[in-house]
Amino acid sequence: MVRHVKRRRFIAASGIAGIATLAGCIGEDAVEDENGDDPDDDDMDDMDDDGNGEDADDDELEAEPDDDGEVLTLDAGGTEGTYYPLAGDMKTIVEDHTPHGVTVRSTGASVENVATLGREDVELALVQNDIAYFAYTGTELEEFEGEPIDNLRGIASLYPETIHIVTQEDSDIETVADLEGASINTGDLGSGTQVNALQILESAGIEDFDEQNTDFGTAADQIGDGDVDAAITVGGYPLGAIEDLSATQDISFVEVTEDVREQLLDDAEWLAEDTIPGGTYDGVDDDVETVSVQAMLATHEAADEEIVEEVTAALFDNVDDFTTQADFIDLETAQEGMPIDLHPGADAYFDG
């Protein structure tokens, strides 16, 4: 059935999902954004990833800090996205260069992660900068409106999370304008991906479409099976689910044209212009113009200042140790697009 979707209607709908999530059901239903497919809420305490977010080892090992260290919990995202292998890198770096141990959890990513930080259930989390801003200011999404999570604190900006709009190669869908009347997977209900997807569709004037909501892995399967015309995903390229799809299917990407990009930047200042380079995915040889949000590492106000400074120093003194998004994580860009106040521990490192 074709749905007539308007922005406020979306906010109300996503709010229902978000309220249920924040009420205590977090982790049961995927609140996927840039990162993930079906999060199992599994703890992955020893990461052996293949670089695409696929688990190479299902064993769960508790972090083992040194005698004078602490166990820190880092909430990531679904295993087929970017946050999960990136969190594995962070775990390795922190454990190699500090006395602390890190437990990495697969989660529904940004919306879920700001909630767990707000409750101070974890010390660290990966989030989109727009979702962090919405949560911190109590705006935009209904689950945050009037109830800001004002104890959120930033540690660092990391890399651009690129919006991918993928379709089958023979679909004749070339630009966002061609999505009128299409069936579109916009990501899980209440997720950061759904926020971004509907921002794009609204700015492009797309009002009538059949909206479907699932995790990344399922969305890729739907494209491969022809069950949807397009799927919108968010994450640092290359995204594992799309890499896998492009290895077995002929795909193409829907361009966010210049006029739509300009409108988006006016409508949503947290977005930035971006390009998926040709050759990133099998069979897609030309650059694809699109937009992106920013991935960031966050904590909460009560997190120990000395520990946060040690973690920040470990990560940015050893950026060459990253294997995921290594081209983007850099000290010079670590505060770009930071939408919330820095934690004093991070501030101490950057000012030191």
User: Residues 237-283: pLDDT tens digits?
Assistant: 988 889 999 999 999 999 999 999 999 988 887 888 999 999 999 99
- Give the residues across from 119 on adjacent strands: none
Whether residue 121 has pLDDT greater than 60 = yes
Please state the pTM of the whole predicted model.
Answer: 0.72
Whether residue 163 has pLDDT greater than 60 = yes
Instruction: Report the distance separating Cα 303 and Cα 291, nearest Å.
Output: 33
Q: Are strands 251-253 and 288-300 parallel, antiparallel or unpaired?
A: unpaired
- Give the per-residue pLDDT at 62: 62
What share of the chain has pLDDT > 90, as a percent?
65
Amino acid found at 119: R
Dihedral sign from CA coordinates of 231, 234, 238, 239: negative
Residue 126 contacts by C-beta under 8 Å, 6 or more apart in sequence? Answer: 35, 74, 75, 76, 77, 83, 86, 87, 109, 110, 113, 158, 295, 296, 297, 298
